[in-house]
Structure 1
Amino acid sequence: MGTISAVGAGRHWDAVVVPQPLGLAVLEALDQATDHQPGPVVWDPLGRNPRLYFLIPTGSVMCEGFPGATVLSVAAFVGLPGPTTIEPPGPHWVAPPDPDDPDRLVDAELLHGLLAAVVAEPAA
């Protein structure tokens, strides 16, 4: 497992934390909608509650209110893997930051719409 750094949210980005099943479905839709350029996403498969972290612009609180989704901002810390940690075990980037555009984040409005669409889908 690679090094994990506790990084404060709310300064350069906020994080939308989503339970693994919902997060994987949203990530698949986001990946398709962005031509495989979703923005930075971390998958933490460990523990009792595996989850995904979507890094969005600060102040993008529109992603609150979905079952199981939480927005982390000021006074919250997120455990981020090193930039080359793209495989398990442990937290890893499923969509690493773009080295050519390190300020690029997940589009919060698109993420909000995809969360709503995935939550509204009938269970298979």
Structure 2
Amino acid sequence: MALTEWTRSMEWLAAASADPGACKHEWQNGTTGVALLAAGRFWDVLVVPEELGLRVADLLDELPLLDRGPCLLDTRRRRVGFLLPPEPRTVWVGTGVRLLGAGSWIAAPAPHCRWGALRWLVPPDGTGTLNIPEVMEVALERCAGELSRLQGRAAPAARDRRTALL
């Protein structure tokens, strides 16, 4: 990640913190390298089980015309979080799926962190690019179906727009 892109990414991500200066200081000089960021203002976070989230991240990576949004991996909790535009009326349904919006907080490493138990699979680019909910819906549905077939279960039927089935 080039220095200007890293700086832009850090500024963009730190803006979601209650104290952006302290957040940036922790990322650069702190002991944990992790800061708390508020969801719901600039972005929401769709949290899915790790196995499904990694498949979705791989699928999104294969779409050449798609500008992927940030994606965070938490190997300790076995979860993947995708940053989406904040939409308070959106409902995502599925086993192990949570949408973190206004009033929720996430722990996030510095944007350049691509190693460790908490790391970015796709770091923020600093321009505000987020994952597209409609694309996420299709990707989640497809990957959930693949996992269901691999595990010998039938995939659930689609219910509603922007409803991720897992």
TM-score range, shorter chain: 0.7 to 0.9
Partner of 2:150: 123
* Number of residue-to-residue matches in the alignment: 119
- The TM-score with structure 1 as length reference comes to 0.86
- The TM-score with structure 2 as length reference comes to 0.65
- The unaligned stretches of length 5 or more in structure 2 are 1-30, 152-166
- Paired with 2:96 and 2:145, the residues of 1 have a C-alpha distance of 14
Question: Which structure exhibits the higher relative contact order, with contacts defined as CA atoms closer than 8 Å and separated by 6 or more residues?
Answer: 1
RMSD of aligned alpha carbons: 2.0
Whether the 8 Å CA contact 1:63–1:112 is kept in 2: the answer is no
1:113/1:61 CA distance change after superposition, 3 Å? farther
1:109 maps to a residue whose letter is E
Q: Shift of residue 98 of structure 1?
A: 1.1
- The unaligned stretches of length 5 or more in structure 1 are none
Structure number with the higher strand fraction is: 1
Which protein is bigger by CA-based radius of gyration?
2
Among candidates 113, 124, 128, match of residue 85 of structure 1: 113
1:1-124 alignment runs, 5 A limit: 3-35=33-65, 37-46=67-76, 49-59=77-87, 62=90, 64-87=92-115, 89-99=116-126, 101=127, 103-121=128-146, 122-123=149-150
1:90 maps to a residue whose letter is A
Structure number with the higher helix fraction is: 2
- Paired with 2:90 and 2:139, the residues of 1 have a C-alpha distance of 12
Moved beyond 6 Å, runs of 4+: none
- Paired with 1:5 and 1:50, the residues of 2 have a C-alpha distance of 19
- Paired with 1:68 and 1:18, the residues of 2 have a C-alpha distance of 6
